[in-house]
Amino acid sequence: MGCSTLKGGHRIETELVNLLSEYAANGTPCVLATVVRCEAPTSARPGDKAVIAEDGTLTGWIGGSCSEPAVRREALRALADGLPRMLRISGSGKANEAREPGSVTMASTCPSGGSLDIFIDPHVPHPVLLAFGETPVAQTLARLAELVGFRARTVAQEELGSLTVRGNDAWAVVTTMGHYDEDALAAALAHPGLDVALVASRRRAEAILGALRERGLDEATLARVRTPAGGVQGIGQEEIALAALAEIVILRRQRRQVVASPKLEEFATDPVCGMAVEIKRAAHTATYQHRDYYFCCEGCRRQFLEEPARFVGATHLT
């Protein structure tokens, strides 16, 4: 039952600290959920914590079967948009869900009653930016990227063979300017999750890509290269660095706006009490008019089957 004793609570606290440290070292996004307030009857208490991974795995204790799916769902939302929020779960005479900036309130008709306030805090690693080359563009790009929140560094020629990239939010700009261009671009493209841009004229870029094609790189891999980086050429090196970084910032923002975690599709709303239900873990289900419904408990399922027309307006959460 999680933190039921001081000894058990200390063990779990240590486990969560170690897990957070491991995820941070690996560049793995996760969420720390913390109970900040509760009113009986609840199985959680203020200070209870859980870490939720990208796949929805929950380690720790955040409450019972009603609150856990809601926490998982909001954790995945937080990983998708990178924003913290307060999740408020409360007993009510009418099931309802309301969203405001920074908070979501779930009113439930579950007979267990009680209420919980849970702070959902996403731990999303800073994006990585690698500036290949020993040029003013590379040096300026790394400095500017650090100012806007990237973990940035330059990559010299001798580092190409031992390059490692952590995390799935990683960007590369090849700014070698005629020195070991093909080797640098090949090293960047060797990492499938790395977004790659090249500082070069269109004519020079075609020659570099042609050389890599002769080395055996396929068209799908070469198509990952954006050139010229920043969409501009023929200006000063510092301005090229600024344009390349601006392009990356815009692309990151656009991609984050359109990304919707497919995991969110694995949750539904209990049409009776209004709580979130994890579809793959749902032990209580029913089918009405060729549609499947999911319930947090057998009591909700039984109530639905007695009068399904009363509840068919409930929809799946997305």
Q: How confident is the model over 287-310, as pLDDT tens digits?
A: 998 899 998 888 888 889 998 888
Q: How confident is the model at residue 3 (pLDDT cuts 50, 70, 90)?
A: very low
Q: Report strand pairing: 58-60 vs 194-198.
A: unpaired
Strand, coil or helix: what is 213?
Answer: helix
- For the stretch 51-108, pLDDT in tens is 999 888 889 988 776 788 888 888 988 988 888 999 988 776 666 677 888 888 877 6
pLDDT digits (tens, 9 = 90+) for 236-275: 889 999 999 999 999 988 876 555 454 667 888 888 887 8
pLDDT at residue 112, as a whole number: 62
pLDDT band at 278 (very low <50, low <70, confident <90, very high): confident
pLDDT exceeds 60 at position 1 = no
**Which of 20-34, 78-92, 136-150, 302-316 comes out lowest in average pLDDT?**
302-316
Percentage of the residues of the chain whose pLDDT score is greater than 90:
46
Residue bearing tokens 């300026």: 140
For all residues of the chain together, what is the average pLDDT?
85
Note the pLDDT of residue 4. Answer: 33
Residue 110 pLDDT grade (very low, low, confident, very high; cuts 50, 70, 90)? low
Are 274 and 108 contacting, i.e. CB atoms less than 8 angstroms apart?
yes
* Predicted pLDDT at 215: 96
286, containing H or E segment = strand 284-288
The whole-number pLDDT of residue 191 equals 95
Does the domain at 128-258 match CATH 3.40.50.720? Answer given as: yes
pLDDT for res 313 = 66
Model pLDDT, residue 10: 62
pLDDT at 111: 59
- Reported pTM: 0.66
Sequence-distant (6+) residues with CB within 8 A of 75 are 31, 33, 52, 56, 120, 122
Residue 187's pLDDT is 97
Q: Residue 41 has what pLDDT?
A: 67
Q: Is the pLDDT of residue 189 over 80?
A: yes
Check whether 109 has a pLDDT greater than 70.
Answer: no
> Tens digits of per-residue pLDDT, 206-247?
999 999 999 999 999 999 999 998 887 768 889 999 999 999
How large a percentage of the chain has pLDDT more than 70? 86
Supply 49's token pair.
């914590």
CATH 3.40.50.720 residue window(s) in the chain: 128-258
For residues 209 and 222, the answer to whether their CB atoms sit within 8 Å is yes
Residues 154, 247: Cα–Cα separation, whole Å: 18
Cα–Cα dist 269/81, whole Å: 21
C-beta atoms surrounding 288 within 10 Å? 14
